[in-house]
Chain A
Amino acid sequence: MIAIEDGKKIIEDVLKAYPEKTKAKREKHLAVHQDDCSTCGVKSNVKSAPGVMTARGCAYAGSKGVVWGPIKDVVHISHGPVGCGHYSWSTRRNLADGIPGVNNFVPFHFTSDFQERDIVFGGDKKLEKIIHEINELFPLNNGLSIQSECPVGLIGDDIEAVAKQTSKDIGKPVVPVRCEGFRGVSQSLGHHIANDSIRDHIIGTKKLDNKSKYDIALIGDYNIGGDAWEAKKLLEEVGLKVRSIWSGDATLEMLQTAPDVKLNVIHCYRSMNYICRHMEETYGIPWVEINLFGPTKVAESLRKLGELFDESIKSNVEKAIEKNMIAMNKTIEKFKPRVGGKKVMLYVGGLRPRHTIGAFEDLGMEVVGTGYEFGHKDDYERTKDYIKDGVVIYDDVTAYEFEEFVKKINPDLVASGIKEKYVFQKMGKPFRQMHSWDYSGPYHGWGGFEIFSRDMDMALNSPTWQLVTPKWRKGST
């Protein structure tokens, strides 16, 4: 960890590069955590400054890409021009079981491919036709969602009316989602809009069969690289029944029947707290936040769940922890000597800027900087429980800031996204993508930690880093 005063000096120096107005804005988003500050000392969830190179995406990305996209038996129409759907076509690694084009539409890009005439005359008629064509060509779809792109909201199309009519025509849900990219300040509003659209059109429209007192919904697990499958395994090992997953490898029915479960277990708080609150208020379903990264947090989370059920679950939890810790301790024994003491800087979205800290710490690594792409105040409030004084916090960090922070703080590993990856690798910094697990994973649960540990070791100790400087530039060696 760097000294608090040094951290402040670093931030001050980095801010010098900005014009006055932007400096005044940006300094509110950068801080060194101290005195257990409730918000980690930063402002969040406000507009990005123009021209600074933010990593943030948009509401469409939050809705189509994050919340809706993984629901596999629903056809998601990227409604508008071709680009948005193209870039979000199978680029998130939310895995799904099923036959593509038959009962699984995850690896697809359905677009209305707007042309100039659609902008001029409106796209409602085209949309209606699209819905009928899709329903004919993909008869096993269980519904459709209309993911609005920027122009849709600007030209005044009435997608709600089209959805209502076509839903009647085909006898399946057709959900209009107003997730135009210009709404809000990041992906985050898209999550909220998507949650609301599920609330308004889907939830509670079917009853759960074979109910039991151990029925739970796993909320906010998108099955990146198979995460949700690992999570399900772990929860079912202790006797809980995962009846619904939001929304990794999910079916529409899982969302419809969710209000019949006993407990909502939420992983990605940021993207799905809305639906948990709704189910709590409307159906009286309690919800609990868990963390599935690293054995310490997994065990903590399981015990927390055990407390909410009966003695049999509690005793299963203890047995599962005891059993799985044998492998976990082996993993830690193997990798801790290789990665222990290494410093990490994180910059991710959703939950990972705090949730993964425990997994790094299980390996004896130290997180010295972290920040959220699209976090809110309540994310930073939760973060403070994970970090010590001296951790540098950067909200909606700009490319310039991140680069300078890494140069000055000099961590051993940077863990962030694809747009950041190659910048830091060019600097000779080991890097792991923490959105996509760098095409690896899963990282959730017991099994995930073994893969996580292997991957961090691989990044840090790859012999390729020794190739960067040729021997004739290494001085006397």
Chain B
Amino acid sequence: MSVKTVEEVKEWINTEEYKELNFKREAVVINPPKACQPLGAIFAASGFEKTLPYVHGSQGCTAYFRSNLSRHYREPFSTVSDSMTEDAAVFGGLNNVIDGLRNAYTLYKPSLIAMSTSCMAEVIGDDLNAFIGQAREKGSIPEDFPVPFAHTPSFVGSHITGYDSMLKSILEELNQRQKKSTSVKGVEKTSLINIIPGFDPHVANIREIKHMLGLMGIKNLILADNSDVLDAPLTGEYSMYTGGTPLQDAINASKNKGTIALQKNSTMNTIKYIQEKWEDHPAFNLYPPMGIKLTDDFVEKISDLSGIPVSKELEKYRGRAVDAATDAHQYIHGKRFAVFGDPDEVYGIVSFLLEIGGEPIHVLTATGNKTFQREMELLLASSPHGQGAKVYAGFDLWHMRSLLMTDPVDMMIGDSHGKWAARDANIPLVRIGYPIVDRVNLHRYAVVGYQGAINMITWIVNTFLDELDRNSDDAHFELLR
């Protein structure tokens, strides 16, 4: 290594040579934009009425999840842990489940406890089903009290995998209850459409979906709806349970007309389960309705599924978003972007950029499988604006830094963790995704649906214009932009 001084290294880490070395690494992962499974699991659980997320394993994990979620939403996030320690590592966590369920049930009076696991419980191989059964026998919880569970070790997948596993488990558990309570088979279908938002960190997204469906007169059930839980009003009174999908509605969800999931990568197993097990119940896994085209896809799908034509009102609503896009296209057209985050969100952002003339250049996810990579590449190939892009699935933000320094772009889009790379590259970061812990209220704005397209245009364009104003010389500091 010839580089020795601070100044030399400072220059060196920006070079093509460094980039090559950086991309050669096989073992260390540096600044990956992904969290772990149980975070997604407790997030999924938080969307159900009076549901207490419960993590079987080490307690530190739960403290981390709660802090992490509270920082993003600036809201309380309740989850219990059964605090396994060294003795449990030797003897297993049975006693922790027995005492933990009893305490959690007695103290916090939930209607459902959703159990996920930390690494510790998974490495020692605790048998959740048997443990929960024994806890029932010991009277920790009533005989028929629902405790769906999911195995969610951090060494498999990421938070979106955990979301999928927990959601599937809760739906499975609740659906079984429907069968128990229904004596006649082939109960009549409702006209409701189930919507699964996925690991969606923008609470306003759920509200936007409901609003759009309202404009079409389509009745719907959100599985699971944590928009009120994670955006609770300040009234002077605190309640641990502030909303969520009613359990009875979730029990009956399979009787609804069909299901549409809006983040295909975070709901693969859930949708597969619904397709296989729910009778006469079509289920679709879509990319999120971000931008005009993907929102159109969603609208078309929901119109087909419900048999309800797209309403004039919704077309008017769409038209306003298109108006916003054409009004602002000149500020985005030809601009170069780096995008990172969870696969679904990244796909949605890229699709949106392409349709407005922006040029995605570096497209990076920490997770994402081969199907995602292929679909992402197909999307980019389909547009003249996508020709300069390269997809990096399974990479991290230290890779991203090298990309930004060697092949500069005008803006980065992603979560707060992108701020160091953006700063080093001297470009603005527009924050979309999870977590956003250094700006306020962004989760209260939709990024899906037609309103979401308007919001994204607003943030991106105004950020560029703010930069322009701050950096203009006197002559070019103009009133009109």
Contact = CB atoms under 8 A, between A and B. Distances in A.
A130 interface: yes
B67 A87 contact: yes
Nearest to B233: A426
A127 B237 CA distance: 50
A47 B85 contact: yes
Interface residues of A, number: 87
5 contacts: A54-B83, A82-B32, A86-B35, A181-B59, A426-B232
A18 B103 contact: yes
Contacts of B95: 50
A472 B57 CA distance: 48
Contact of A403 (B38, B58, B60, B238): B238
Nearest to A103: B6
Q: Contact residue range for chain B?
A: 35 or more
Given A113-B29, A184-B85, A81 B236 contact: no
B21 interface: yes
B63 A137 contact: no
A18 B3 contact: no
Contacts of B59: 48, 54, 56-58, 181
Interface of A: 17-19, 21-22, 47-61, 77, 80-84, 86-89, 91, 99-103, 107-116, 118-119, 126-127, 129-130, 133-134, 136-137, 139-140, 149-151, 153-155, 181-185, 187, 398-400, 403, 417-419, 421-428, 468-469
Contacts of B100: 50-51
A134 to B, nearest CB: 6
A151 B123 contact: yes
B257 interface: no
Contacts, number: 268
Nearest to A107: B420
Contacts of A426: 76, 232, 234-239
A423 B242 CA distance: 12
Nearest to B10: A102
A89 B29 CA distance: 13
Given A82-B154, A91-B71, A139-B1, A54 B120 contact: no
B381 interface: no
Contacts of B389: none
**9 A-B pairs with least C-beta separation:** A58-B60, A83-B36, A51-B100, A50-B100, A81-B154, A87-B64, A51-B103, A50-B82, A51-B104
A48 B96 CA distance: 11
B54 interface: yes
Interface of B: 1, 3-4, 6, 9-10, 13, 18, 21-22, 25-32, 34-39, 54, 57-61, 63-68, 70-71, 74-86, 88-89, 95-97, 99-108, 118-120, 123-124, 153-156, 158, 232, 234-239, 398, 401, 417, 420, 424, 437
Contact of B29 (A82, A91, A149, A154): A82
Contacts of B66: 419
Contacts of A153: 89
B236 A82 contact: no
A150 B102 contact: no
B330 to A, nearest CB: 35
Given A133-B26, A139-B1, 6 more contacts: A51-B81, A83-B36, A127-B27, A133-B25, A154-B124, A184-B85
Given A91-B71, A423-B76, A82 B35 contact: yes
B155 A81 contact: yes
Contacts of A109: 30-32
Output the residue of A116, A126, A151, A403 with the most chain B CB within 10 A.
Answer: A151
A367 B86 CA distance: 36
A187 B156 CA distance: 25
A153 B88 CA distance: 13
